[in-house]
Amino acid sequence: MNQLATPTRTDSFELLSREEIAALGLELSEYRHKKTGAVHYHLASDNPENVFLVALRTVPHDNTGVAHILEHTALCGSEKYPVRDPFFMMIRRSLNSFMNAMTSSDWTAYPFASSNRKDFDNLLQVYLDAVFFSRLDPLDFAQEGHRLEFAEPTNPKSELQFKGVVFNEMKGAMSSINSQLWQTLSKYLFPTVTYHYNSGGDPEAIPDLSYDELKAFYESHYHPSNAIFMTFGDIPAEEHQARFEELALHRFDALERHIHVPDEKRYHSPIRAEEGYPLPADEDPKDKTHIVMAWLLGTSTDLKTQLEAQLLAGILLDNSASPLLHALETTELGKAPSPMCGLEDSMREMVFACGVEGSNPEQRDAVEKLILDTIAKVAENGADQDTVESVLHQLELQHREIGGDSYPYGLQLTLNALGSATHRGNPRDVLDLDPALATLRENIQHSDYIPKLAQELLDNPHRVTLVLRPDQQYHDRAEAAEIQRLERIKAGLSDDDIQQIIKRSQDLAERQALKEDESILPKVTLDDVPVDIPVLEWQAAEFGSLPVEQYGRGTNGLVYQQILINLPELSDEELAILPIYTQALTELGLGDQDYLQIQARQARVCGGISAYSSMRGGIDDEQQLQAYLVLSSKALLRNASEQAQLMRDTLESVRFDEHKRLIDIVMQLRARRESAITGNGHGLAMAAASAGMSPVAQLNNALVGLPGIRDLKQLAKNLADADQSAAAATDLAQRLKRLHQKMLANPRRMLLIAEPEHLGDLEQTLAPIWTDFNASGASALDRGKIREGRKAFWSANSQVNFCAAAYPTVTSNHPDAAALTVLAVYLRNGHLHSAIREKGGAYGGGASQDSNIAAFRFFSYRDPRLKDTLADFKASIDWMLDTPVDDDALEQAVLGVVSSIDKPGSPAGEAKQDYHNRVFGRTPEQRKLFRERVIKVSGEDLLRVTQTYLKDVEPSIAVISNDSQAGKLGDWIKENGFTLEKM
């Protein structure tokens, strides 16, 4: 690893406080920049994955998405790095474990993480220059924000269109009913402050933003006086500060403007509102209304107020045994609790929300009464002491767990603390909860404490009841309004205006096609890559007849246990209900206790228990299928034996006779899966495109892909039908019971993860619980072989498109797998990013080699185009074969793959990954070999695999779009052999 010279110490910052946070094993220091007032919070840890974040308080006062568009545009070139796209260029020239930028409701943050010190400094230089010395080129604003462009860019007689990455991104984001629900709720909860507006941008308002307004927002908000610096890791704070001063801060004086979110005006009486959301014209609007109640609470920077709100929210909504969640799950007034249920505490003032989905507008008063009556009972009677203790137990567990699997652990901590820092609170309070939890434990001993909190909620008049009902004409009216707006604009264009639009299109196309001088950007090379990857130590044991593999890891007092059961041979009918089975297994009663008692037990014992199926293809043959049922949980060390007993009871004593509960589970699962389409459309499209590649691909698409969602919707419809509900529920329960009996007949194995010093004691404690737990069945899931092409056009409730194309390739052990993996990154960097995102206007696009199913897959995300994107996929293949391989670009692609392989996770997450890799035949030796092959990939290898696997091969294709597009492209769909599928 390259070591940098230590920068000279600087006295430009003054230390304000320093405190050890024992529960997290780190030291938190707060500094202030003397000249500008910028604050720096440093979380000192011995973790080599260092994290940097600079955040600006951003408080827009309209729906144009100015903060969001600025986040994008600021990363498109700066004073020191005047290239078009330094952000995406640095992704290619880095070994980062995280790089991004994000816009929240009241801040914009630019974080990254890297375990390589040279790489960290490279990224720091680029990020600081981008934030504080951005060029803000008008063409970048046109590309990333919005612009007017003719459908045929040089033909003014063609249709006029709105284009722009953020414009299309937000069209996709606001296709999500959940996003519409939250944004509409915020509009009424916050009548005057920044949360009233859509910080991401409303697609109808985004075209109103001018370039001058963007620049003015930048000049007033992107200043060190309004900045919060946060760092985590083993680089000393003084080194960071020397670099901050050298690279940016010495050029600024204090900014007089004090940017903040003021107190919201308070309602003196609750209000009600009703709005619509788009529903396809051929869908029945019955039982598709969302009814949500929300209260505006106190400030999030007051730790006492925040923890009391979390405590009350937990008591009311923590699990199915909680009174309010139980009422919302079991009521006939809706199909499932609203996804808005819970406490939002990241904004300056907190929001508590609850409600139902799958209702009807006329049920508003009844839903209100149900919610208020339930809270009133808590205000009158309080809560069971065990329930209150369980909520505190969950808060403690969440606080102690070391994450890092989805986001780097240090980034999770800094983002958790950022809200408090944004509103000039004390981030220490958020990170060091132990003293506050101790105070809460004292307070809950008073019998009137919980009733008082519930009564305060009831007495709070700043309350909104929102009815969001389906509107079958909404989409058509919105589309017509946009067309009419564009027609009015076009009719009013002068000859000069027309020429300006044409010239800007040409200038932008030239800028996008320009070959930039990337050499001005810093980079790491393959010489900076570690030679090897670490191998985790583990030890084998046996708990009676149960084989156990143990990992000693730094888990901060948590214990992780998993049971794996070989999936048995299952019929198509049994496989169809597997997702319901895995969801229901941990949400039903056990033995003579009903599900409410078991939910309470789970809350007392562990921090979550879940079941899921895990399937992979063979490392040498994608047609081989290996599959397991996994039961997983985590708990504090003191609860390890109760955790184990709960897991065993779950597998051996689950009852399927709670038919009403089963119906509720199906309704909730349907709601979650359907609402996720617009957020994971690219993943669903890739699953559909590659469904014919292997048994695993086929099962993945059928169970959790679009067909699975459609089948789930039909089952939910049957269960909701009064005439067939009872029979359908009985039939489902019987099928689940038979499926479970098959599971119990098959062999099991166990994974145990805890701190090394506790493994010996845990073995003595847990072995008696798991003794004689194994089974000797030999049934194994076998789906035969499949290798076929498919084309599907899926019509869903989405304003944008998701496109995917899949080509048959090879498995991970094949020598070409490494070259195909590098090729995917090379194509993204060299052609797809420019063609699909910059020129096409999609929010994202790229390619990947999935060796698990032996498929190479192209994709686009939140895409305004469809046929042109599919053409770009194909064109990238020709580009690869017709364009000389660039050695620097090849090295960048290799670095990108190596970075993803070497990306660190949480201590427990790395152990789980290592264990499951070995279970599925991905040994450390095999993974090392793959990594070595990646590093050795040559330009000739890229050309060879492109020619072999992609050129002149007919791909499988899947598109997710909407009814309007299906109607316009009807002939094309038929001519190209697509099946037309309807969600």
Mean pLDDT of the region 458-486: 94
**Percent of the chain at pLDDT exceeding 90:** 86
Q: Give, in order, the Cα–Cα distances in Å from 749 to each of 425, 629, 645, 771.
A: 48, 11, 16, 12
Q: How many residues does the chain have?
A: 983
Supply 156's token pair: 């003014």
Q: Are strands 227-233 and 50-57 parallel, antiparallel or unpaired?
A: antiparallel
Identity of the residue numbered 688: A
The pLDDT, as a whole number, for residue 7 is 40
| Integer Rg of the chain from CA | 28
Q: Domains in the chain and their CATH numbers?
A: 13-255+493-520 (3.30.830.10), 540-770 (3.30.830.10), 791-982 (3.30.830.10)
Identity of the residue numbered 751: L
The answer on pLDDT for 433 being more than 90 is no
Give the CA diameter of the chain. 85
The pLDDT, as a whole number, for residue 371 is 98
Q: Are strands 539-543 and 463-471 parallel, antiparallel or unpaired?
A: unpaired
CA distance linking residue 632 with residue 608, whole number of Å: 8
| Model confidence band, residue 517 (pLDDT cutoffs 50, 70, 90) | confident
The pLDDT, as a whole number, for residue 6 is 39
H helix or E strand, kind and range, residue 521: none
| Model confidence band, residue 10 (pLDDT cutoffs 50, 70, 90) | low
> Residue 342 half-sphere exposure, CB side, CA atoms within 13 Å?
9
The pLDDT, as a whole number, for residue 1 is 32
The pLDDT, as a whole number, for residue 9 is 46
Is residue 47 within 8 A of residue 554, CB to CB? The reply is no
- The per-residue pLDDT of the chain, averaged, comes to 94
The pLDDT, as a whole number, for residue 679 is 85
- The residues, ordered by sequence, that sit 6+ positions from 192 with a Cβ below 8 Å of its Cβ are 264, 265
Identify the top-confidence range among 420-429, 511-520, 580-589. Answer: 580-589
Is residue 659 within 8 A of residue 726, CB to CB? The reply is yes
DSSP per-residue letters across 189-218: H-SSSGGGS-TT--TTTGGG--HHHHHHHH
* Weakest mean pLDDT among 35-39, 216-220, 368-372, 795-799: 795-799
More confident residue, 446 or 531: 446
The pLDDT, as a whole number, for residue 3 is 39
Q: Are strands 342-344 and 349-359 parallel, antiparallel or unpaired?
A: antiparallel
* Weakest mean pLDDT among 220-234, 427-441, 589-603: 427-441
| Model confidence band, residue 85 (pLDDT cutoffs 50, 70, 90) | confident
CA distance linking residue 188 with residue 185, whole number of Å: 6
Look up tokens 């949500």; give the residue.
Answer: 292
What pTM did the predictor assign? Answer: 0.91
| Model confidence band, residue 532 (pLDDT cutoffs 50, 70, 90) | confident
The pLDDT, as a whole number, for residue 720 is 87
Mean pLDDT of the region 597-626: 95
Is residue 752 within 8 A of residue 766, CB to CB? The reply is yes
DSSP label at 101? -
Instruction: Write out pLDDT tens, residues 142-183.
Output: 999 999 999 999 999 999 999 999 998 898 888 889 999 999
Strand order in the sheet with 546-552: 539-543, 546-552, 748-754, 558-566, 625-636, 609-617
Is residue 54 within 8 A of residue 109, CB to CB? The reply is yes
Identify the top-confidence range among 192-196, 519-523, 772-776. Answer: 192-196
The pLDDT, as a whole number, for residue 4 is 41
The answer on pLDDT for 900 being more than 80 is yes
The pLDDT, as a whole number, for residue 886 is 94
| Model confidence band, residue 403 (pLDDT cutoffs 50, 70, 90) | confident
DSSP label at 885? P
